[in-house]
């Protein structure tokens, strides 16, 4: 396993729509393991493959603890139903140090393949439902910033400029 570099906003790579995983094999399982290790190192509760530069339809979620415990891997996920409404203060590893209140569905049902290529269905409520929707958004090229007002978008963009400057990194900016 290896810790991968998390791509930060405003990289245009975060806007790419992920493509389906053709075959669940050892390379995909290694990527899932790397994603989990990266997520735990940050720490976070979820990470999409697009956030580590792999434009594939897969993500990991673990709500148990930063050390791990209840890791879920989702390959080629499909949200089959959404119900209710909840407002949750969300963070994102591609927006370090930033959190925003986002309106989401309180319940989400998702179908996907597990790390062995076996289909499963999972129903999540509250934080699990929020995490599923958040990571699924990444696969569609949709980001945390897309759920906030224009003024908050401007504030987040300024904060991300500071993050890049503090890290001594050039900004790979998105269009628009």
Cα 137 → chain centroid = 7
Question: What pLDDT was estimated at residue 43?
Answer: 81
Task: Give catalytic residue positions.
Answer: 135
- Residue pair 47/8 in contact (Cβ under 8 Å)? The answer is no
Question: What pLDDT was estimated at residue 118?
Answer: 98
Asked whether residue 4 is assigned to any structural domain, the reply reads: no
Asked whether residue 3 is assigned to any structural domain, the reply reads: no
Asked whether residue 1 is assigned to any structural domain, the reply reads: no
Residue 149: phi and psi, rounded to 5, are -70, 165
For 77, the domain range is 12-167
Question: What pLDDT was estimated at residue 70?
Answer: 87
Question: What pLDDT was estimated at residue 66?
Answer: 54
Question: What pLDDT was estimated at residue 173?
Answer: 66
Asked whether residue 85 is assigned to any structural domain, the reply reads: yes
Asked whether residue 6 is assigned to any structural domain, the reply reads: no
Asked whether residue 26 is assigned to any structural domain, the reply reads: yes
Asked whether residue 152 is assigned to any structural domain, the reply reads: yes
Cα 88 → chain centroid = 15
Considering the entire predicted model, what is its pTM? 0.92
Domain count, the chain: 1
Mean pLDDT by 10 residues, the chain (176 residues): 93 96 98 96 93 98 73 97 97 95 97 98 95 98 95 94 85 58
Asked whether residue 175 is assigned to any structural domain, the reply reads: no
CATH code assigned at 129: 3.90.45.10
Q: Report d(CA 114, CA 120) in Å as an integer.
A: 7
Question: What pLDDT was estimated at residue 31?
Answer: 98
């Amino acid at each position: 396993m290896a810790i991968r570099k998390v791509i930060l906003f405003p990289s245009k790579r975060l806007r790419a729509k992920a493509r389906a995983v053709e075959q669940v094999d050892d390379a995909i399982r290694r990527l899932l393991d790397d994603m989990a290790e990266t997520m735990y190192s940050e720490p976070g509760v979820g990470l999409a493959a697009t956030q580590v530069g792999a434009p594939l339809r897969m993500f990991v979620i673990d709500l148990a603890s930063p050390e791990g415990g209840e890791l879920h891997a989702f390959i080629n996920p499909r949200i089959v139903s959404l119900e209710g409404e909840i407002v949750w203060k969300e963070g994102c590893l591609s927006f370090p140090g930033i959190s925003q209140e986002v309106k989401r569905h309180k319940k989400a049902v998702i179908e996907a393949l597990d790390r062995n290529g076996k289909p499963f269905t999972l129903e999540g409520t509250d934080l699990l439902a929020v995490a599923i929707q958040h990571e699924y958004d990444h696969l569609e090229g949709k980001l945390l910033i897309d759920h906030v007002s224009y003024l908050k978008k401007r504030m987040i963009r300024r904060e991300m400029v500071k993050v890049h400057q503090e890290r001594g990194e050039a900004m790979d900016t998105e269009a628009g």
